Structure 1
């Protein structure tokens, strides 16, 4: 049974590690995809820059070239935003002649751009175009005006007061807006819409600064998207529940397989109908226990690997050690094993955890072979004591004395040269191990956990400026 617990937990640990790896790969793919999307967005800005850098190829004179520049900005920036959000580009010049009724297509709909100096002049050009092309503005196609001009015209149309406009100008705007509605049979806002740019932004003297601003906005939004991807990728209770569900299936399945094999060794064949109602009841209870233990183990390993930053093998070894200790306590209480046997078996059960913990705490430090057994045995004893405290109560002190006795006996058999090495290694493990346990002990109050976290950070030599020292600092960090 004890061996089965270790095997099952390690299998579940491997499953959690694979899940974590797959999740990390998915996040990397998403971030790489976003980087590619940002590169395509910036490429669209580059196309507009290339266009405006050869003004001799732009239609119109020095006072009217901004009209075609506005068209390039409209299409380029719209597509840049689409690429950044990993959407299909919505605007295009493809299939549009340079002197066609439309200037570009947005979502396959014809759009005519009017960037004329003066509110009424823009509306005059719209009416002139509608009279020239009898279907335009009536079949779903529409006009773009400078964004700032459009906003002012809309206020006038709605009867709002606009500072600086003469009453005669207001009357003309309202009159022309009504004419547009009469010609189209639609509301003004359906036929005339705001473009991306203000009138001043597309002038030759301002266009490079305008493109710089758009590029910065794209960069800021890209950063926000990537931060959101990172936030959504953080460990959460929903994922933990899913992992626990998988663990339950694994734990239940393994326990079922072992139980069926046990019955087979007893001479009972499932396929020959040898099982009694009691057999099925026993199998059902055992499988349910396996599922419960597997679910708890998977959830615990997920929490340790994602919230406490332990490696999956280390987390799995700690979880399995805890499960074996619990089983040994039951055997001890049932009188099936003596306390001395419990001490020896619990130490053996934690040997795997000791090896994993030692590797995690000390990294690549080489431990001399003559002291390896003493070090592993001592750390296994420490883990066994920690795992047994909640079950043994006052008997923990007795276990502690026996483990200390083992430690002293081990040191006595080691050459004096190595005794200091053993003491130093064990002290290093205990310094990090105890602090880590305290930092993630949810049973302690917030202040104590924060203090333990500070000590842990200091032990790991985290910069003092990066350590949160007070609850207020923690609240500010979490809400930032």
Structure 2
């Protein structure tokens, strides 16, 4: 094998495998983060359902609910309010802010929300409900300044419509009475009506004894749907992304630059006896080392982006993707030498087999799994697999080379027994599944189109222009900016 082929493999394989380890760590971190987030959300949903179970337990025994049969809905409304609010907070992984703790059953307040006293008034008729609020304010004169009232959400909506002039079928006297009571409530509490009196989570009808069980069921169904939406959002947030791909490429550039710099400094010491730590380097030495390091960084960035694409788009294992990238880079260099007339067709094919041998070995180990490959024909299988790499990386750029490889591969395959051919077909199926993804991984225009496509999708869904990342530099600034609180 020509010496330059050996250097090609040696100089690329180690940084690419290091990049593969880095990308694999990024992928695993993302997967682990998603797993943790999904587990936390599952626990949150369990807590939310427990809160709803407490409501069901309370309404399941009407004999223990205060009031007559026609007034028990008042305390039912309180338990539904607190239970639903607690369930929603649990689902959002927030501390529940609604509670009965420290509240007497016949106290001036019925429950607290965020530490603020709340009195619930579920009275039949909007005008009647407002009168009950005024009666309560007359008895507890400071309540409206420190706390607020809950009324059925349908009655609250009706009052707001009346204040807008939309009176519906209500009589003139009823409308006037409601408006007068609203003004008096604002005067006594010193607050706007919408602050002093707020809508409950329930309508008047929803908390009646014959209806509340169905109401709780609707709330539970809503919580389930919200939970699925949150879990889907978690999945979406932890999918492979352009931003993370750029991060992988940047990290790979740094790692490769460091490896290249260290290797170059060591070679300088070995070959020329120049020790960077004792001031032996000249300006020319530093220029040489700096140029090689910069080249290494660029190559590392490309390798990092390619490996990230292959591991996430083609479902390749990171070692396999790293070996594939190494082979592709090596074959690109060999193809350039061949077209420049520096090496012959036979040298290209022979050198290509060695350049792709690492990818063939790693790929065989990754894909073959438990398939038993007889040792005497292992070389033939690896040769066939390496040939597939050569054909895949060169594509249509060198038809005579791929034709020569096809001829070799046919001879190799014909020498294999049925079991080994079966294993080989499995390997070939994996390659056919990959298609042109290896080419796409190195195609900068494809990666640019990814950004353009994501912009089009975001605009189609009505995302505000100010929130869009419209260029790679925008993505870079976003990825390197401060974390959101």
TM-score, normalised relative to structure 2:
0.84
The reply to whether residue 169 of structure 1 matches residue 166 of structure 2 is: no
Other-structure match for 1:102: 109
Residues 413 and 421 in structure 2, CA contact (< 8 A), matched pair in contact too: no
Q: How far apart in 2 are the matches of 1:259 and 1:335?
A: 29
From 386, 404, 408, give the equivalent of 2:407.
Answer: 404
SS of alignment partner, residue 144 of structure 1: strand
The 1:406–1:222 alpha-carbon spacing in structure 2 relative to 1, beyond 3 Å, is: closer
1:438–1:250 CA distance, 2 compared to 1 (3 A): closer
- Deviation, structure 1 residue 329: 4.1
Task: Compute the displacement of 1:419 (Å).
Answer: 3.9
**Higher RCO structure (Cα 8 Å, ≥6 apart):** 2
Is 2:278 the partner of 1:272?
A: yes
Match of 1:63 in 2: 70
SS for the counterpart of 1:143 is strand
Aligned to 2:479: none
Task: State whether residues 371 and 423 of structure 2, in contact with CA within 8 Å, keep that contact through their aligned partners in structure 1.
Answer: no
Give the conservation status (yes or no) of the 8 Å contact 2:137–2:143: yes
User: Does residue 158 of the first structure (1) align with residue 164 of the second (2)?
Assistant: yes
- Report the alpha carbon displacement of residue 172 of structure 1 after superposing the two structures with TM: 1.3
- What CA distance in whole angstroms lies between the structure 2 residues aligned with 1:153 and 1:25? 50
**1:103-145 Cα deviation digits (max 9, x unpaired):** 1111111111101112121111100111111111123x11111
Specify whether residues 346 and 92 from structure 1 end up closer, same or farther in structure 2 by C-alpha distance, changes over 3 A only.
same
- Unaligned segments of structure 1, at least 5 residues: 444-474
Aligned pair count? Answer: 436
In the other structure, the counterpart of 1:307 is: 313
Query: Deviation string for 1:258-296 (max 9, x for gaps)?
Result: 100011111101122111111111111100111111111
Is contact 1:374-1:422 (8 Å) kept? Answer: no
Alignment deviations for residues 281-325 of structure 1 (CA, whole Å, 9 cap, x no partner):
111110011111111111101101111211111111100111222
Counterpart of 1:91 in structure 2 is 98
Question: Is 1:321 equivalent to 2:327 in the alignment?
Answer: yes
Which residue, 260, 285, 298 being the options, matches 1:292?
298
Within the candidate set 146, 151, 155, 1:145 is matched to: 151
Q: Give 3-state SS (helix, strand or coil) of 2:144's partner.
A: coil
Residues of 2 paired with 1:269 and 1:439: CA distance? 44
- SS of aligned partner of 1:111: strand
Distance 1:424 1:189, change over 3 A: closer
Partner SS, residue 162 of structure 1: coil
1:72: Cα distance to partner? 0.8
1:84-233 equivalence runs, <5 A: 84-139=91-146, 141-163=147-169, 165-233=170-238
Q: What RMSD in Å do the two structures reach over aligned CA positions?
A: 2.4
1:210-263: per-residue Cα shift (whole Å, max 9, x none)? 111100000000000001111111111000000101100111111111100011
CA distance in 2, matches of 1:169, 1:405: 96
**Does structure 1 conserve the Cα–Cα contact (< 8 Å) formed by 2:240 and 2:312?**
yes
Structure 2 Cα separation of the partners of residues 405 and 187 of structure 1: 87
Partner residue, 2:434: 436
Shift of 1:184: 2.0
1:290–1:438: structure 2 CA closer, same or farther, 3 Å change rule?
Answer: closer
